[in-house]
Structure 1
């Protein structure tokens, strides 16, 4: 009896009307009934659409995140660099107002900041997930020296104080690509952030997959595949990997918003992306400097960050419940 048959029978025992459906269809059926999950998925897709269509939005809106409109047009900023109009300069021309000091359009900064943050977080999530799959499943299935080496590597990396590691090693990683006496290009900063977050971002999922693989490798369908002469690679690809899709998807939905906030924190501390690159974290850093005189500027990046993180976490909970037929809502 295959693993998918066992899973399908378990679901059928819990859910009426599940006969004749594949595990993927059952998962989708449960997810569609979860209103919170569907709404969260729509919110998440909206943020990704904004990031993907940022150039189109800029063209339709008629502005970009780099032009200093406060310097090109008189009367927009006062002598202290703050918007003259109330509420941070919000009007029909500048929907979210102007950035204090530079006069840049806040709406376009936020749109391109979302694009930058999501690109970094998505790249790190993909790399971390692939690393965790390879090392976690290899440790659990191969065992022996491989398991001991990978497990000790995970323990070592998890012992690092992550925030201090991020702050300390980002400049070091950047110097591997450019001369430290020269100004670091934006693409080098982005690559450095991705590498540092990836280096310490895969261990939790790797440990989860190792434990799941340890419990699966003694199951009957794996033993049957071994007896039939299947190679280790085929067993991992055909028997083990399909049975750990659930923890992979669930953990990935928790990892991505975590990487978004971590990358924003690095920019806030001044070691991530810096001026003039639009970024969520850089907007928070500017807001922390001007909030006494312009509290409006902090509102838009703060609210958007909270909505995105909450929606992604709720989506992760809904995916976990959809995969687990024993969950009672």
Structure 2
């Protein structure tokens, strides 16, 4: 029988070792290999850059979203001179009919406001939904029953009609509490009404996740050793909830962007001449037959943002799925 001499093994030989990866590392690896997700992230990064630095870009280009340029309109004073709505080196996306305001400058300024409304509403929705969902799922008993019925009642409201009815009342109440009239109170109203009726969807999702996690062995072990509720919440539950929260936030963003655009058609948006994607789209509809390029510019930006968020949300859901094959 031959005995293996362990001392004869070369210690310098690189021995392959199995290295474990966290869910975050696995998800990021999957996202980087997903071309659709990568393109979506680049598009959203560009839109975010435009939203943050839009006013600076507009200033560097020497255009202002509020300046009237009637000399760029025809003799009737309504339609832009030149093809594609007055496209030129000075005005790369043309000018508005009737006013002659630079469309690119208004798009740059409007991107900031549209994304600010959507991001703020998403943050409030996620925070409210997560808190209520965790409290409901972790408490059980009467607290769970009351919160569950409150979610059901909130979801039963006809969303659009309630928003139309609540917006003027809420805006007046904000002004009575000292908030400046005009766009500050109007934008705050939009954020609040979109958030108030958005959180129950996430709350129900989080409640179901918490109820499932409460039956898992690691949570039962934490309870058996006498861990406090706060420790179980922060150390056991929340780390396992960030994936559905992130996916929901990514998918909720395009819905809120579209909701702001829809409310603009109903007159429940920022006060003119302040632009948003929705208000620009609403203003351009009347000129679609005579100046379709004016209509296509805000529509393209809106579609790019909504489509990119939806595709990224789908990619995140696939990447964070623990049942998917490891890449």
Question: Scaled by the length of structure 2, what TM-score is found?
Answer: 0.90
Query: Following the alignment from structure 2 to structure 1, what is the Cα–Cα distance between the partners of residues 115 and 18?
Result: 37
Q: Check 1:120–1:305 CA distance in 2 against 1; reply closer, same or farther (3 A cut).
A: same
Q: CA deviation at 1:75?
A: 4.7
CA contact (8 A) 1:77 1:103 kept: no
CA contact (8 A) 1:94 1:107 kept: yes
CA contact (8 A) 1:36 1:314 kept: yes
Could you tell me which runs of 5 or more consecutive residues in structure 1 were left unpaired when the two chains were aligned: 1-16
Q: CA deviation at 1:103?
A: 1.3
Query: Following the alignment from structure 1 to structure 2, what is the Cα–Cα distance between the partners of residues 23 and 266?
Result: 39
Query: Following the alignment from structure 1 to structure 2, what is the Cα–Cα distance between the partners of residues 259 and 75?
Result: 35
Instruction: Say yes or no: does 1:216 pair with 2:190.
Output: no
1:231-287 alpha-carbon deviations (Å, 9 max, x no partner): 111111110111111111111101011101101111121112131111111111111
CA contact (8 A) 1:269 1:285 kept: no
Instruction: Say yes or no: does 1:195 pair with 2:192.
Output: yes
CA contact (8 A) 1:273 1:279 kept: yes
Which residue is 1:9 aligned to?
A: none
Query: Following the alignment from structure 2 to structure 1, what is the Cα–Cα distance between the partners of residues 109 and 245?
Result: 29
Which residue is 1:85 aligned to?
A: 82
Which residue is 2:301 aligned to?
A: 304
Which residue is 2:38 aligned to?
A: 38
Q: Check 1:229–1:281 CA distance in 2 against 1; reply closer, same or farther (3 A cut).
A: same
Give the SS at the match of 1:324.
coil
Give the SS at the match of 1:206.
helix
Query: Following the alignment from structure 2 to structure 1, what is the Cα–Cα distance between the partners of residues 126 and 30?
Result: 25
Larger-gyration structure (1/2): 2
Which residue is 1:65 aligned to?
A: 65
Query: Following the alignment from structure 1 to structure 2, what is the Cα–Cα distance between the partners of residues 18 and 165?
Result: 56
Which residue is 1:21 aligned to?
A: 21
Query: Following the alignment from structure 1 to structure 2, what is the Cα–Cα distance between the partners of residues 220 and 19?
Result: 24
Query: Following the alignment from structure 1 to structure 2, what is the Cα–Cα distance between the partners of residues 75 and 239?
Result: 63
Q: CA deviation at 1:169?
A: 1.1
Q: Check 1:219–1:317 CA distance in 2 against 1; reply closer, same or farther (3 A cut).
A: same
Query: Following the alignment from structure 2 to structure 1, what is the Cα–Cα distance between the partners of residues 323 and 127?
Result: 28
Could you tell me which runs of 5 or more consecutive residues in structure 2 were left unpaired when the two chains were aligned: 1-16
Query: Following the alignment from structure 1 to structure 2, what is the Cα–Cα distance between the partners of residues 117 and 274?
Result: 13
Q: CA deviation at 1:314?
A: 0.5
CA contact (8 A) 2:109 2:275 kept: yes
Give the SS at the match of 1:274.
coil
1:182-226 alpha-carbon deviations (Å, 9 max, x no partner): x94111100000110010011111100000100111211111111
CA contact (8 A) 2:74 2:80 kept: yes
CA contact (8 A) 2:73 2:97 kept: no
* 77-86 or 289-298, larger mean C-alpha shift: 77-86
Question: Scaled by the length of structure 1, what TM-score is found?
Answer: 0.89
Which residue is 1:52 aligned to?
A: 52
Of 118, 142, 146 in structure 1, the residue corresponding to residue 143 of structure 2 is 146
CA contact (8 A) 2:73 2:98 kept: no
Q: CA RMSD in A?
A: 1.7
CA contact (8 A) 2:167 2:193 kept: yes
